[in-house]
Amino acid sequence: MSDCLLPTMCTITGRKQDTADVFTLSIDPPDGEFPFEPGQFNMLYIPGVGESAISISGRPAEANKLVHTIRAVGDVTRLLGIRETRERIGVRGPFGTGWPISQAAGKNVVIVAGGIGLAPLRPVIYAIADRRDDYGDVSLLYGARTPADVLYREELLEWKRAGVLDLAVTVDAARSDWSGDVGVVTNLVGRIHSDPAATVAMLCGPEIMMRSTARALLDIGVEEANIAVSMERNMKCATAFCGHCQLGPYFVCKDGPVFFYPDVAPYWQQREF
Partner 1 sequence: MVHWSPADLDALLCQLRDEGFRVIGPSVRDGAIVYTDIDALPVGVGDDQEAGRYRLRERGDKTRFGYNLGPSSFKQYLFPSREELFAYADGDIVPAPLDDEKLAFVGVRACELAAIQVLDRVFQGDGFKDRRYQARRQNLLIVAVDCSQSAPTCFCASSDDGPGVGEGADLVLTELLDDGEPSYYVRAGSERGAELLAASEADAASPELQGRARAVVDETREGLERLLPREGLRDALLGALDHPHWQELAERCLACGNCTQVCPTCFCSTAVEETDPVSLRVSHVRQWDSCFTAGHSYVHGGPVHAGIASRYRQWLTHKLASWEDQFGRSGCTGCGRCISWCPVGIDLTAEAEALRRTP
Residues that bind partner 1 (CB under 8 A): 1, 3-9, 47-51, 73-74, 88, 90, 232-234, 236-237, 239-244, 246, 248-251, 254, 267, 270-273
The residue of the chain with the least Cβ separation from ligand FAD equals: 74
Q: Rounded to the nearest whole angstrom, what is the least distance from the CB of residue 271 to partner 1 in the complex?
A: 7
Question: Which of 5-13, 52-60, 169-177, 195-203 is the region at the interface with ligand FAD (rule: CB under 6 A)?
Answer: 52-60
Per CB under 6 A, the segment of 151-159, 179-187, 229-237, 261-269 that binds ligand FAD is 229-237
- Binding ligand FAD by CB under 6 A: which of 19, 24, 26, 52? 52
Work out whether 71 is an interface residue with ligand FAD (CB under 6 A): yes
Nearer to partner 1, 113 or 222 (CB): 113
Q: Which does 4 bind (CB under 5 to 8 A by kind): ligand FAD, partner 1, none?
A: partner 1
Task: State in angstroms the smallest separation of the CB of 233 from ligand FAD.
Answer: 6
Binding test (CB under 6 A) with ligand FAD, winner from 104, 203, 235, 264: 235
Contact partner at residue 257 from partner 1, ligand FAD, none, CB < 5 to 8 Å by partner kind: ligand FAD
Cβ neighbours, 10 Å, residue 241: 13
Q: Which residues bind ligand FAD (CB under 6 A)?
A: 41, 50, 52-55, 69-71, 73-77, 116, 119-120, 232-235, 257
